[in-house]
A and B are shown apart, each in its own frame.
Chain A
Amino acid sequence: GIQVEQSPPDLILQEGANSTLRCNFSDSVNNLQWFHQNPWGQLINLFYIPSGTKQNGRLSATTVATERYSLLYISSSQTTDSGVYFCAATNTGFQKLVFGTGTRLLVSP
């Protein structure tokens, strides 16, 4: 099955800094999503982005499907951005997502 790898595993930022999180996947995908898990464990869907670029406020994401990677950009980071960011992908007709191991982000004031 598809493999999903994320980097870096941990990231510490000062409030206001920018960051880039990377997701590599081993095969072509028909569904790739980015999620944020807050410190209370709730998973929030950030982007559905099997290809192309999307932006939502301070967050944006780009997937280069031909090179099998996706990037999540966080600009002007805030303490509320802390948590774990997961990339998940699938290449099956059914939406069984395979999750990466996550990037743990801590934004300090």
Chain B
Amino acid sequence: EADIYQTPRYLVIGTGKKITLECSQTMGHDKMYWYQQDPGMELHLIHYSYGVNSTEKGDLSSESTVSRIRTEHFPLTLESARPSHTSQYLCASSTDGFSNYGYTFGSGTRLTVV
């Protein structure tokens, strides 16, 4: 079944640690996105990718970085986690076609930095 997977689902980590949030999709979508969401609030785009070797920063400034070496994989890395990074991170993907099922979200990673 085509889907988009995020790991870990929950992560509690100490200040200063390096972390990578994983996102993979099996739908062959060319476009992928990372959104950040504080509890009960709207989603903000922090990174997106047109395709392999293409990454851009989103509308919300973020200290995280991303890479897109393979179509299906779009990991997000924080070099030195801080308590201000505590949030939910949602990965999504879409196709070129504007269809009802073209935009799919993963289950998210809830990050807590202590």
Binding site for B on A (CB under 8 A): 1, 30-31, 33, 35, 40-45, 47-48, 50, 54, 84, 86, 88, 94-102, 104
Would you give the 0/1 interface string for B41-62, flagging 1 where the beta carbon is closer than 8 Å to chain A?
A: 1111100101000000011000
Would you give the 0/1 interface string for B82-114, flagging 1 where the beta carbon is closer than 8 Å to chain A?
A: 000000101010100011111111011010000
Which residues of B30-44 are within 8 A (CB) of A? 31, 33, 35, 40-44
Smallest CB–CB gap between B31 and chain A, Å?
A: 6
- Number of A-B contacts defined by CB within 8 Å: 62
Name the contact of B41 in the complex, choosing from A44, A94, A98, A101 (C-beta under 8 A).
A101
A-B contact pairs, 18 of them (CB 8 A): A31-B98, A40-B107, A42-B105, A42-B108, A44-B105, A45-B101, A54-B100, A86-B42, A94-B31, A95-B31, A95-B102, A95-B103, A96-B45, A96-B58, A98-B59, A99-B42, A102-B40, A102-B41
Give A28 to B90 CA distance when docked, in angstroms: 26
* Contact status of A42 and B107, CB under 8 A, knowing A100-B42, A102-B42: yes
Smallest CB–CB gap between B12 and chain A, Å?
A: 16
Name the contact of A41 in the complex, choosing from B31, B45, B88, B94 (C-beta under 8 A).
B88
Give A97 to B108 CA distance when docked, in angstroms: 17
- Residues on A with beta carbons closer than 8 Å to the beta carbon of B44: 99
Give A41 to B107 CA distance when docked, in angstroms: 7
Smallest CB–CB gap between A50 and chain B, Å?
A: 7
Tell whether, in the assembled complex, residue B103 and residue A33 are in contact, meaning their CB atoms are under 8 Å apart: yes
Tell whether, in the assembled complex, residue A104 and residue B40 are in contact, meaning their CB atoms are under 8 Å apart: yes
